[in-house]
Chains A and B, each alone.
Chain A
Amino acid sequence: MSAVATLPELERAPEREATAAPDTLPRRLLDNVARFGGRVAFREKEFGLWREITWRQYAEAAAACAHGLAALGLRRGDVLALIGDNRPELFYLALGAQAIGALSCGMYQDSLAEQLTELLRFAGARFVFCENQEQADKILEMESALPGVERIIVEDWRGMWRYRHPKLTSFADLTASGREGAARAPEWFAERAGEGRGEDVALLCQTSGTTALPKLAMLTHRNLLSQSENFLAAEPHISPQDQFVSYLPFAWIGEQMISCSLHQLVGFTVNFPEEPETAQRDFREIGPHFTFAPARIYEGLHSAVTVRMLDAGPLRQAVYGAALRLGQGIVEREAEGRPVPRLRRALWRLCYWTVYRPLLDKIGMTRTRTAWNGGASLGPDYFKFFRGMGLNLKQIYGQTEIAGISCVHRDGAVRFWTMGAPIAETEVRLSGEGEILSRSPSVFVGYYNNPEATAGALRDGWLHTGDTGTLDPSGDVILFDRMGDIIATADGVAVAPRVIEDMLKFTPYLQEAMVVGEGRPYLAAILNIDLRNVGKWAEDRGLAYTSYTDLSQRPEVLELLGSLVRETNGRMRPEWRIRRFVSLYKEFHPDDDELTRTRKLRRAHIAARYADLLAAIYEERDAFRARFVVRYEDGRTQELDAVMQIRDVPA
């Protein structure tokens, strides 16, 4: 086994000519006006219609933003925080700020006011852009704690007709003054953009922070663009004619990577849904050629399809079930490199047109050439499900610190238990402790204002990812889990909880699961039921319930969960089996710091928060009475008193 993962044959690093293409994002944008001009860069749904924005308009709007921001006093090295749903305006502002040497920093729009405040203080943001009143209220509420914020720019002024705060500026005023400035000095934007260099920091990107407070990774223009170039070498099919739908948080590196840097590089069209609530329908209207999403999206799609099929008649259910088994069988054979009989291939074709394709149409993926899963890993069952239907689902592996991607599955070599092979100019090796280390031109320059964390993550140019894994003989990277998340039971068995959880969650009835057992004699699981699907399951059986808490503790539901866990246990080696489980009275939630904003478990925090519950599990008690304070998004709190049953898993 080689110690270093290698690039698949035939894939070469992109050649960079001496007369290099523009190496900053704003200069790329100007270059794209010449390349694409009147072609559609963005499409945004408004008033029920798709409104098109050309590359020329994109550049003009970015220039207006740059003028406007500079006129308000934004300078080189300042930080502009951006809070809002994905809209072209966020990109205009980001590019405008980057052109004058400022840094953009996206923030999750569903964060609580306190969480935003902490981040804004830490980033030292001078300007904050808020999409609407909701976001502006959060900032204004905490204004006294944010002396560094000098301007609050608000796009949608609706509901704010009485707001007279001196720091408030409307986005319209900003662009209006910016356009005047641009009319007076048409060359100014290009000159400012020309001063930028590839090694300038372009943006601060929040890392998901499963273990501690989020950190802000500093990524340069070169990090971002080299990352996209190397990714494109692995996925050369992406073309300017393609459609992409941008609906995942702007603050997430995955969205930055595709909708910003890859977009600048290739010039496809990025489409923005009307509202987050209409994203699914709008996604289907566009029918994107490629899509990139975290695991929870695929988990959600799978559960939506599964639950809808439960409503179908017996004939359809039977055909659907048979078709799925056929597809999955073929995927397994292909992954293991075994031949697929010709008759099965023919049957699969038939099923494609009669079953799979109509299903893919429902989720807007009939045109999708490639769907990547990134952010968190996806269980192998999901791969079999989607790939069996003919959706080319592939895994991406990477971190914010490496601008998003270090490994990806290659077509024809999708071994769904791996993370794929490194992309061009990227080296991956293992440290002595089994930690995955990566090195590439996309490795970040450090954490903002946090030299200790930087020293920990960045040593001799190698990014220490904090993940443990191994290398497949084929050169693919195999991920076990986060270093700190590996569980060692009392008998010294090492368990990667993620693997078990991914298998557990392959049912529409479970929303989330966390496996525990560090230093304990056996493993246990804390389960979150999926309210919608379990609710429907209960209704179909005539079971009445009042709330999530009530439903989660119904004896019938606990029976259901017990059988699900037992089923998973059956596919697990004995020492990885779950002996006891509890159905939590509430869902894990980012507002309670139990999940990150990208919906990853924050294990240490959960273990601390539910320490008493864990103790009860291992004291072999049958029930646990919990008193918790629940916090709602609007800041209200409520005290809850719930009795949770602790069940043994039937053997």
Chain B
Amino acid sequence: MLLPFGARETFARIEERRHADVFRRGRGHASAERRGATFSLREGTPLPRREEALRGGPYTSGVGAPLPLVDDVLTADQITLRFAGLVAIDGLSFSLRAGELLGIIGPNGAGKTSVLNCINGFYHPQRGHIAFAGSEITRMAPHLRARLGIGRTFQNIALYPGMSVLANITSGRLIHMRAGLLPSGLYWGPAERELLRHRARVEEIIDFLEMEEYRHHRVAELPYGIQKKVELGRALAMEPRLLLLDEPMAGMSVDEKTDMARYILELREVRGLPMILIEHDMGVVMDLCDRLLVMDYGRKIADGPPGEIQQHPEVLRAYVGEATVA
């Protein structure tokens, strides 16, 4: 009765130790996995690792490596979305180029989140077409789109609050898991190896987002800013080829915003991940994005680089009101 530690924690420690043991035993396999184990969001852009550096490996080769120049990653052609009488999106067309960070801005209710919902398949537009990496996805179910590589974070945090950070991020790996129910349940053979492989990927994401400290914390106990990071981590665990970020910095402190901006920049600069970002903080949007799409009442009113958008008269009127932008 007086033992101040609970059985639950003890079990967690046993599991942890076992994870480490198995990893050590299966070294041939595991370390080979880990050597290339730089979680590559795109094939062929591994990140430099201290381990590699020590081995004298190619440290800088991955950094800034040129990306294959494909055409537009995503194109939306004349999409229209209606809820009963309300027109949420009205004949919107835009495209996203490889490695580009596109910001969508606009007043509340302009239809920004609806656009993301159309892209990842929560909503199906009544008219128009959406194509991802050259193939038509307008009618595809959300889980199939996720499998194609469309990842997203949510405006209101949508994590599993009772589970640990580790488990939440691992849930992003589900679409890559192949082992059946029985071997997984028994944690046996290929299932065990597969889980360890996924764990290694998850650990790389934890390292990337600098969340080592919170690995075993329950999500519900964490501050809001950290939960937002877990959301991003889970999306990255899917190894997306396109990332949709719905207000990733809402409600964050200045320091947390700076951190988040760093991660987004690194994803773009080093890994060339194409992203669509919805954000209300104009400073952030102007600093980060390559291009902005301005919406109002479901329509596109402007589209161009941040510098141009700032001067756009239509934008000033619709988004900022009549006031001038400094």
A interface with B by C-beta (< 8 Å) = 46-51, 61, 64, 89, 155-159, 161-162, 170-173, 175-176, 179-180, 274-275, 277-278, 281, 312, 316, 319, 354-355, 358-359, 361-362
Query: Could you tell me the dominant secondary structure of chain A's interface residues?
Result: helix
13 sample A-B contacts, Cβ–Cβ < 8 Å, listed by A number: A46-B51, A47-B203, A64-B56, A155-B53, A157-B48, A157-B63, A170-B60, A172-B54, A173-B60, A176-B56, A179-B56, A319-B2, A358-B4
- Give the residues in chain A near B2, CB-CB below 8 Å: 316, 319, 354-355, 358
B262 on interface, CB distance cutoff 8 Å: yes
Determine whether the beta carbon of A172 is less than 8 Å from that of B60: yes
Q: Which residues of A contact B213 (CB under 8 A)?
A: 275, 277-278
Interface centre among A49, A51, A159 (most CB of B within 10 A): A49
A319 to B206, CA, bound (A): 41
CB within 8 A of A156: which of B50, B199, B269? B50
Given A47-B204, A61-B54, A161-B270: 14 more A-B contacts, CB < 8 Å: A47-B206, A48-B215, A50-B20, A51-B51, A64-B56, A159-B266, A173-B60, A175-B56, A275-B213, A278-B212, A316-B2, A319-B2, A358-B5, A362-B5
- Interface flag for B154 (CB, 8 Å): no
Residues of B within 8 A of A312 (CB): 4
Question: For A47, A51, A312, A316, which residue has the most chain B Cβ atoms within 10 angstroms?
Answer: A47
In the complex, chain A residues whose CB is within 8 Å of the CB of B57: 172, 176
Distance in Å: Cβ of A322 to nearest Cβ of chain B: 12
CA distance A274 to B206 in the complex (A): 12
- Which residues of chain A are within 8 angstroms of B269 by Cβ–Cβ distance? 161-162
Q: Is the C-beta of B300 less than 8 angstroms from some C-beta in chain A?
A: no
Given contacts A47-B203, A161-B63, A161-B64, contact A172 B53 (CB under 8 A): yes
Q: Which residues of A contact B262 (CB under 8 A)?
A: 159
For the complex, give the distance between the alpha carbons of A603 and B60 in Å: 48
The chain B residue with its CB closest to the CB of A359 is: B4
B23 at the interface (CB under 8 A from A): yes
User: CA A159 – CA B204 in complex, angstroms?
Assistant: 16
**Bound form: Cα–Cα A427–B142 in Å:** 77
Tell me how far the C-beta of B37 lies from the nearest C-beta in chain A, rounded to whole angstroms: 8
Which of A64, A158, A172 has the largest number of chain B CB atoms within 10 A?
Answer: A172
Measured in the bound complex, the distance between the Cα atoms of B251 and A144 in whole Å is: 39
- Those 10 A-B pairs whose CB atoms lie nearest each other, nearest first: A172-B59, A172-B53, A277-B213, A47-B203, A176-B56, A179-B56, A48-B203, A275-B212, A274-B212, A354-B2
Chain A neighbourhood of B216, CB < 8 A? 281
Would you call B314 an interface residue if the criterion is a C-beta within 8 Å of the partner chain's C-beta atoms?
no
In the complex, what's the smallest C-beta–C-beta distance from A637 to chain B, in angstroms?
16
Residues of A with C-beta under 8 A to B212: 48, 274-275, 277-278
- Chain B residues closer than 8 Å to A48, beta-carbon distance: 199, 203, 206, 212, 215
- With contacts A159-B262, A316-B2, A359-B4 taken as known, whether A47 is within 8 angstroms of B56 at the C-beta atoms is no
Which chain B residues lie closer than 8 Å to A359 at the CB level?
4
* B71 CB–A CB distance under 8 Å: no
> B52 at the A/B interface (Cβ < 8 Å)?
yes
- Say if the beta carbon of B43 comes within 8 Å of chain A: no
Expressed in whole angstroms, the minimum distance between the Cβ of A460 and any Cβ of chain B is 47
Q: What's the minimum C-beta distance from B222 to chain A, rounded to whole angstroms?
A: 13
- B302 near A: Cβ within 8 Å? no
The answer to whether A172 touches B48 (Cβ under 8 A) is yes
A172 vs B50: C-alpha distance in the bound complex, in angstroms?
Answer: 8
Q: Any chain A CB within 8 A of the CB of B218?
A: no
On whether A47 and B54 interact (CB within 8 A), knowing A278-B212, A358-B4, A358-B5, the answer reads: no
Chain A residues near B207 (CB, 8 Å)?
46-47
Chain B residue with minimal CB distance to A277? B213
**B1-47, CB < 8 A from A:** 2-5, 20, 23, 34
In Å, the complex CA distance between A358 and B6 comes to 11
